[in-house]
Chains A and B, each alone.
Chain A
Amino acid sequence: MELLLGIDLGPHASFIWAAYGAVVAVIGGLIAWLYIDGRIQQRKLAVLAERGVRRRSARRA
C-alpha cells in the first residue's frame, strides 16, 4: 500500500493503516446502510401506491 502511494509511514505503519481502515469500514458501512434503507422504504411506498394506498397530498398531485 505504501509503495503504491509512494509514502513511507515508518515502523508504526500498521497502526496508521488500521486506524484509517477502521474509519473506511465504519463510514462505508454506514453509507451502504443508509442507501439500502432508503431503497427499502421507497420500494415499500411504491408497493402501497400500486395498491392505491397514497398520501392525501400525493393523491392531489
Chain B
Amino acid sequence: MQTLTQRLANPTRFMELSGSVLPWIAGAAAVVIAYGLYLAFYVAPPDYQQGETARIMYIHVPCAWLAMAVYAMVAMSAFGFLVFRHPLADVSAKTAVPLGAAFTFLALVTGSLWGRPTWGTYWVWDARLTSVLILFFLYLGLMALRSSIEDDSLASKLTAILALVGIVMLPIIKFSVDFGNTLHQPASVLRVGGPTIDTAMLTPLLVMALGFTLMFVAMHFKAMRNEILRRRVRALQLAQVEKAQASQLAAAE
C-alpha cells in the first residue's frame, strides 16, 4: 500500500502532473512579476533617505529570500533522499542547486549595486555579506562535488550529506545582522513584531516575492522534468549496450 507522498513522488506521475500545471505556474509568474514591476516603478514612492535607489529592493530581497528558501528545499530533498531513498527527492535536490546558486549570485550582485550609492562601497566583509558569499560557494561546492564523482548513486549520497551539513548557514545568515558591526540593515519584513516597512513599499515587495517564488517553482519543475528525461535516456542507452553485449556473447557461444 503506497502512501500519498509515495504516489505523488512517482516520476511518471510527476511528469504527468508537472506537465499540466507548468504552463499555468509559468504564466502566473509572468503576470505577477509584471504587476510587481508596475507597482515597483509607478506606484511605490522613493525612499525618504535613499531616494530612487531603494527600487533595487524589489529584486534584491526576493532573490535573497529565494537564495535561502531554495537551500532549505535542497536540504529537505536531501533528507528525503537519504532517509526514504526516493529518486525523485534526489532529482529535486540536484536540479534546485543551480537555481539556488543563480538567486544567491543575483542577491550578491544586486546588493552590491545597491550598496555603492547607499553605503559608498560595493562590498564590506561583514557578517551578512560574507555569510551569503559562503552560501554561494556552498552551492558551487554541491555542484562541483556531484560532477566530480562518476558513480551517480555515490554522488547523490555525498552531495545529500553536504547539503544537510550546510543548512547551518541559514540561521547564521538570518541572524548575522543582529550580531557584530554591519552596514546591512536589520530584518524589516520577516521579524518579530511585524514589518517596519511602509505598506506602499511592502505591497510591491511582497508581490515581487510571490512572482519570483512562482517563477522558481516553474523553473524547478522544468529542470526536474529535464533531469527525469536525462535519466531515462541514460537508462535506455545502458539497456541498449547490455542487450548488444548479451547478443554478442550468445553469437560467440
List residues of chain A with CB under 8 Å of any chain B CB.
Answer: 5, 7-10, 12-13, 15-16, 18-20, 22-23, 26-27, 30-31, 34-35, 37-38, 41-42, 44-45, 48, 51, 53-55, 57
B63 smallest CB distance to A (angstroms):
7
Q: Is the CB of B113 within 8 A of A18?
A: yes
A-B contact pairs, 23 of them (CB 8 A): A9-B55, A10-B46, A12-B52, A15-B53, A15-B113, A15-B114, A16-B52, A16-B55, A18-B113, A19-B56, A19-B110, A20-B56, A22-B109, A22-B113, A26-B102, A26-B106, A34-B219, A41-B226, A41-B229, A48-B240, A53-B237, A53-B239, A55-B236
**CB closest residue in chain B, given A49:** B236
Chain B: number of interface residues, binned into ranges: 35 or more
B140 smallest CB distance to A (angstroms):
15
Note all chain B residues with C-beta closer than 8 A to A45: 229, 232-233, 236
Note all chain A residues with C-beta closer than 8 A to B113: 15-16, 18-19, 22
Q: Is the CB of B236 within 8 A of A26?
A: no
Q: Is the CB of B52 within 8 A of A38?
A: no
Q: Is the CB of B59 within 8 A of A7?
A: no
Note all chain A residues with C-beta closer than 8 A to B55: 9, 16
Distance, CA A30 to CA B46, complexed state (A): 31
Q: Is the CB of B52 within 8 A of A19?
A: no
**CB closest residue in chain B, given A54:** B236
Q: Is the CB of A19 within 8 A of B51?
A: no
Question: Does B128 count as interface, using CB distance less than 8 angstroms?
Answer: no
Q: Is the CB of B60 within 8 A of A19?
A: yes
Determine which of A7, A15, A26, A54 lies in contact with B42 in the assembled complex, contact meaning CB atoms within 8 Å.
A7
Distance, CA A42 to CA B232, complexed state (A): 10
